[in-house]
Structure 1
Amino acid sequence: MNLINFHSNDCKNCYKCLRHCNVKAIKILDDKAEIIEDKCIACGHCLVVCPQEARYIKSDMDIVKNLLNSKDKVVATIAPSFAGSFKMDNPYKFVTALKKLGFDAVEETAIGANLITKEYNKFIDENNLENIITTCCPSTNYLIEKYYPSLIKYMMPIVSPMVAHGKMIKKKYGEDVKVVFIGPCISKKYEAIDNSEAIDAVLTFEEVNQWFEHSEISIEDLEASNFDEQSDGEGRSYPIVGSIISQLNINEENSNYNFIKVDGLDKCRELLKELDSGNLNNVCVEINACVGGCIGGPGNPKNQEGLFVRKNKVKKYSSKDVKNIKTQTYEIEGFDLRKKFSSNEVAKPDFSYEQIRNVMSQMGKVEKTDELNCGACGYDTCKEKATAVLAGMSEMTMCVPYMRSKAESMTNIIFEYTPNGIFLIDENLIIKEYNPTAARMFMLKNNAFKEKNVLTLLNDDYIMEAHDKKETIFGKVVKYPQYGLTIRENIIYLEEEKLFMIIMNDISIEEKRKIQFGNMKEETMEAAQKVIEKQMRVAQEIASLLGETTAETKVTLTKLKKLISEEDGDIK
């Protein structure tokens, strides 16, 4: 059941989640991140660091609201780190705020923590373990079960304070009561599923804080209220690193154990590796997935105060004198608080040396010096990255140096083989680079003109205009008769780089063709004019001849008409 993941539409392919995932349980394909639940330990750190807030966390909010609207009694069990997670001058105001939301009773999970301390001590007295590992943190429990199953034998087989308190509430109020855990831990959502007989729903502090905002509940404006049941103080300190082992009935002086407290997954894994290898023995370990312990949980409100401020507030709260306040009236006998941890070992990918080297070669990691192991892709080494590609967890394009090298290679190909001449000059008009085409156009040898003033080669008013105005100029035609060139010139100002890029398109042949075409038109027009003039002369000559012939014809016809008229008169 995927309780946490990423919204693919919001994922921006930055790999930050993978870089912060200690067990590399995130698959990134087609530039989208996806949490692989079988590998995940539900620490939630990847969700916290996501800069795009593309995270998805399954919420029990609707379940809780429906419970509150039902006839069932609903009890909230509150993790003691709440005292540092919310901005309030009196932590007991938080109880009032929850009652306003509709909870019938509000109790401290620290009551369960007190019981767990007793169970730990009882188990240690009854067993002679070579090493001891506390089991209050679900994420570190998953870490051992999935990645260090050989160490399960050292885990104290005891449930967490949340589950213990849930069972206590069920016994006190009856099996029909509904229990909602509220705390800073996302992995508690998974733990609750495995312990549904004790916990009915889980909300993070962040979810409850949003609920307060939507309900327009301001904690600071409320009166303080006592818990319906609360701890005697010792259980409240569980969120602070080292507090669990400090309450055990053993210490380094009266036992063979060395006490170790670790927080943060990097340190946890380092410790577990040393235990797994057999290099570390006779230790009693308190292990916390989050830096700072539960105080640093990923389910804290976004507007929370700093880690050390929260720590001081929890310390102050846990040290309060509660002797005159009603505390745990539970019958604590008869609870089954034992838990069986089982191996869920994640299979390690098994690829041949040739397969891995082939992928690395495709990523440009041919020589040992090519393996930068920069970690930008999210994996610590290039070999791990190649293995992830083979396992279908990653893509070669996630290798930043590889993609940069590929981009630079493409850029170099374009720069080397473009038919346009290209010059790069700085703001002092010094030539920083030019390509082979530009060298051929201006008959330059090697890098002879690098670091020289461009005006010694290109006496160009447009270059000076672009330089003086710090602007881009397009489509100017410039002639260099000494090189037999006519150039269409684009001068682009690269403001960030403080460079000018001059792109020259040789239009000399085009210009020659224009001239030739112009000459041809003039010659054609002259020839046409001569033809027209000749035709006019011929027409005029023809017209003159026609005029003389017509006059003679008229004279002759007139004489003939007169003659015919005279003959007709004689006959009459």
Structure 2
Amino acid sequence: MVVIEGSYGQCQDCYKCIRFCPLKAIRISQGQAEIIAEECINCGLCTRICPQQAKELVDQWSVFQTWLEKKEEIVVSLAPSYLGLQQEPYALVATLYKLGIKRVEEAAWVVPEVSAHYWQSEHLAPALTSACPALVNLIQKYYPSLVKNLVPVLSPMLVHGRSLKQRYPEAKVVYIDSCPAKKVECFQFTEVDLALTYQEIFSGFKKLGLAVEELEPVQPDVTGTATARLFSTESGWRESRSETELSGKLWVVDGFNECLQFLDALQDGHVDGQWAELMICKGGCLGGAGWNDQDPYYVRQSRLLTRVATHQTTSRPSWTAVEMQREFVATPYQPQPVTEAEINQVLISNGRLHPSEQLDCGACGYNTCREKAIAVARGKAELEMCIPYMRARAESLSNIIIENTPNGIIVTDCDLNILAVNPAAERIFNCRGQDYLNKNVEHLFDSSNYKLVKSQGRLISDIVYYPQYSKITKQLIFPVKRPNVIVGIFLDITKEQQQTQELAKLKEETLAKANEVIENQMRVAQEVASLLGETTAETQILLSRLIKLIEQEDSSFTDGLEVG
């Protein structure tokens, strides 16, 4: 079971979770972080530090609500840490009763019995307390040789759950605490049916419209002793034993990195003593990931200590013994083996093969470039996670584009001093860019447009003729706020302009020639028409005479016939 869910679309490549997680139990795939179940110990602390809330604890409130709606018999076990809540702890108890919970007890009630069983059990020195499930997961996966040092006793949650099941066999047992890893422990055993965090329980109350602060505080049915109520703190087990009992060296270690350092030293034989009380979260359960506030653990601890001193305890029923013994089995994590050649290939791809190139900046989340290269070879990380590499790559691409673009580029600072001139600009303005660096752009050409951009802070597009260079340029000049520079992009359109002018001249000459041809044609047409007119008139006269002559001859012939 994994207790961390990801809203992976919200992940923004900050790698903060990888930097925070000492085990690096996180995979980056296509820029999104995801938990690696076989490597994770389910402390849930990465959910507290994600700035984008891209990771969250599994919410099982719906299961609890379903039981309420079905009128299931429910008994609640409250972790000792509940006395560190921002809200009045006994008001939480009152709210649970209002929901119809049959019975509410403090798990601190069983702490003296568990603590005594610790003392009586057979164990190797130094014996490691086994109440913190995240610590147990850590040792089983990453320190299998130390499993034998874990005290073979059930946690107070499981012991109390077993007691409740013994007394209320038909009831659902629900444990409320700040620890997400308790959910996994609950999943592995049958003594507790459901483990909820304070975050889940108060979020659920809000969904139901319940205002905890408005209810009259009510004590639980059963409470623990004052010392037992300290069990959730970083030295809770020590507080439950006498100084005489703890004669001999006792180590108290809280915090993820601190536990790793202690276990490394213990594994290497550098630590002795009789007992070691270890808790993964800083401040013990008061620093767990499942709290419903963002307070530091010492603020919660202050509240808890005050309430331990002021909140009365109830009478406690007589203890009926339950079996507390348990066996721990190593489940070692076996990382994927990688070869030196694979590691070197990744380092080469990132430009980090030589030791002098390995910055070990930690921006990717890994402590060293080599550690990150191993993660890439195992498919847990991506080349692009290396920020110096990506920056160099981006700068290289930018330089390639600037150096090879056919457009001239001239960059100035806010005082119009030249910062960069690319090769295309050198060709356009017939200059060596290096000769003009840190000089005012006025030394190269008229800077009127640059001055306008500086004063108005807007893009200017223009076509400008530079007679000293016999060049015509189309230019875009614009400001860049960061890093406060002015960029000019110049397109040499001299040939195009010349071609345009030549084309215009050709059109003009063509039009003139066309007009001349038209005039000639009109003149010829007129002359032809004139000649045609004269010829037509003469022809008409001639034909008229011919017709008249024929008519006269016909008349004379007819007259002769009549006479004869």
State the TM bucket, normalised to the shorter chain: over 0.9
Match of 2:342 among 337, 351, 355: 355
Pick closer, same or farther for the CA change 1:442–1:251 going to 2, 3 Å: farther
Answering whether residue 324 of structure 2 is matched by residue 330 of structure 1, we say no
Answering whether residue 140 of structure 2 is matched by residue 153 of structure 1, we say no
Amino acid corresponding to residue 165 of structure 2 in structure 1: K
Give the Cα–Cα distance (whole angstroms) in 2 for the partners of residues 469 and 60 of structure 1: 58
1:220, distance to aligned residue in structure 2 (A):
1.8
Pick closer, same or farther for the CA change 1:256–1:306 going to 2, 3 Å: closer
The aligned counterpart of 1:287 is 278
Give the Cα–Cα distance (whole angstroms) in 2 for the partners of residues 206 and 353 of structure 1: 45
Answering whether residue 181 of structure 2 is matched by residue 194 of structure 1, we say no
Q: In the alignment, is the contact (CA less than 8 A) between 1:86 and 1:304 conserved in 2?
A: no
The aligned counterpart of 2:61 is 61
Amino acid corresponding to residue 14 of structure 2 in structure 1: C
Answering whether residue 198 of structure 2 is matched by residue 211 of structure 1, we say no
Amino acid corresponding to residue 315 of structure 1 in structure 2: L
Amino acid corresponding to residue 414 of structure 2 in structure 1: E
Q: In the alignment, is the contact (CA less than 8 A) between 1:485 and 1:506 conserved in 2?
A: yes
1:46, distance to aligned residue in structure 2 (A):
1.5
The aligned counterpart of 1:176 is 170
Q: In the alignment, is the contact (CA less than 8 A) between 2:407 and 2:491 conserved in 1?
A: yes
Answering whether residue 264 of structure 2 is matched by residue 273 of structure 1, we say yes
Q: In the alignment, is the contact (CA less than 8 A) between 2:409 and 2:490 conserved in 1?
A: yes
The aligned counterpart of 1:115 is 113
Deviation track 1:21-56 (CA, whole Å, cap 9, x = no partner) reads: 221111111222221111110000112222222225
Give the Cα–Cα distance (whole angstroms) in 2 for the partners of residues 485 and 384 of structure 1: 56
1:426, distance to aligned residue in structure 2 (A):
1.7
Deviation track 1:317-361 (CA, whole Å, cap 9, x = no partner) reads: 223364xx433203243x211121111111134322222111111
Deviation track 1:180-208 (CA, whole Å, cap 9, x = no partner) reads: 00110100000011121x10111110011
Match of 1:553 among 534, 539, 547: 539
Q: In the alignment, is the contact (CA less than 8 A) between 1:424 and 1:431 conserved in 2?
A: yes
Pick closer, same or farther for the CA change 1:65–1:556 going to 2, 3 Å: closer
Gapped runs of 5+ residues in structure 2? 560-564
Answering whether residue 2 of structure 2 is matched by residue 10 of structure 1, we say no
SS in 1 for 2:125: coil
Pick closer, same or farther for the CA change 1:542–1:491 going to 2, 3 Å: same
Give the Cα–Cα distance (whole angstroms) in 2 for the partners of residues 307 and 204 of structure 1: 16
Deviation track 1:140-175 (CA, whole Å, cap 9, x = no partner) reads: 1111111111112221111111111111212233x2
The aligned counterpart of 1:105 is 103
Deviation track 1:264-285 (CA, whole Å, cap 9, x = no partner) reads: 2111111111111112222522
SS in 2 for 1:9: helix
The aligned counterpart of 2:377 is 390
SS in 2 for 1:130: coil
Pick closer, same or farther for the CA change 1:131–1:502 going to 2, 3 Å: same
Identity value in percent: 36
Give the Cα–Cα distance (whole angstroms) in 1 for the partners of residues 546 and 354 of structure 2: 121
The aligned counterpart of 2:302 is 312
Deviation track 1:277-297 (CA, whole Å, cap 9, x = no partner) reads: 112222522111112211111
Match of 1:135 among 126, 130, 135: 130
Q: In the alignment, is the contact (CA less than 8 A) between 1:349 and 1:387 conserved in 2?
A: no
Q: In the alignment, is the contact (CA less than 8 A) between 1:87 and 1:304 conserved in 2?
A: no
Match of 2:247 among 237, 251, 255: 255
The aligned counterpart of 1:430 is 417
1:465-476 equivalences in 2 (<5 Å): 465-474=452-461, 476=462
Answering whether residue 445 of structure 2 is matched by residue 451 of structure 1, we say no
SS in 2 for 1:319: helix
Give the Cα–Cα distance (whole angstroms) in 2 for the partners of residues 419 and 113 of structure 1: 79
Amino acid corresponding to residue 54 of structure 2 in structure 1: A
The aligned counterpart of 1:87 is 87
Deviation track 1:450-505 (CA, whole Å, cap 9, x = no partner) reads: 1111122120432222222111123x111112212111100121123221110111
Deviation track 1:424-467 (CA, whole Å, cap 9, x = no partner) reads: 11221111112111122212225111111112212043222222
What is the count of residue pairs matched by the alignment?
558
Q: In the alignment, is the contact (CA less than 8 A) between 2:127 and 2:274 conserved in 1?
A: yes
Give the Cα–Cα distance (whole angstroms) in 2 for the partners of residues 304 and 553 of structure 1: 121
Give the Cα–Cα distance (whole angstroms) in 2 for the partners of residues 53 and 564 of structure 1: 122
The aligned counterpart of 2:562 is none
Q: In the alignment, is the contact (CA less than 8 A) between 1:232 and 1:327 conserved in 2?
A: no
The aligned counterpart of 1:185 is 179
Q: In the alignment, is the contact (CA less than 8 A) between 2:76 and 2:101 conserved in 1?
A: yes
Amino acid corresponding to residue 203 of structure 1 in structure 2: L
Q: In the alignment, is the contact (CA less than 8 A) between 1:120 and 1:156 conserved in 2?
A: yes
1:109, distance to aligned residue in structure 2 (A):
1.2
SS in 2 for 1:397: helix
Pick closer, same or farther for the CA change 1:329–1:172 going to 2, 3 Å: same
Gapped runs of 5+ residues in structure 1? none
Further displaced range: 21-30 or 277-286: 277-286
Q: In the alignment, is the contact (CA less than 8 A) between 2:465 and 2:471 conserved in 1?
A: yes
Give the Cα–Cα distance (whole angstroms) in 2 for the partners of residues 461 and 10 of structure 1: 47
TM-score (structure 2 length as normaliser): 0.94
Q: In the alignment, is the contact (CA less than 8 A) between 2:227 and 2:239 conserved in 1?
A: no
TM-score (structure 1 length as normaliser): 0.93
Give the Cα–Cα distance (whole angstroms) in 2 for the partners of residues 394 and 36 of structure 1: 12
Give the Cα–Cα distance (whole angstroms) in 2 for the partners of residues 403 and 114 of structure 1: 57
Further displaced range: 179-188 or 91-100: 91-100
Give the Cα–Cα distance (whole angstroms) in 1 for the partners of residues 42 and 412 of structure 2: 54
The aligned counterpart of 2:40 is 40
SS in 2 for 1:266: helix
Pick closer, same or farther for the CA change 1:163–1:217 going to 2, 3 Å: same
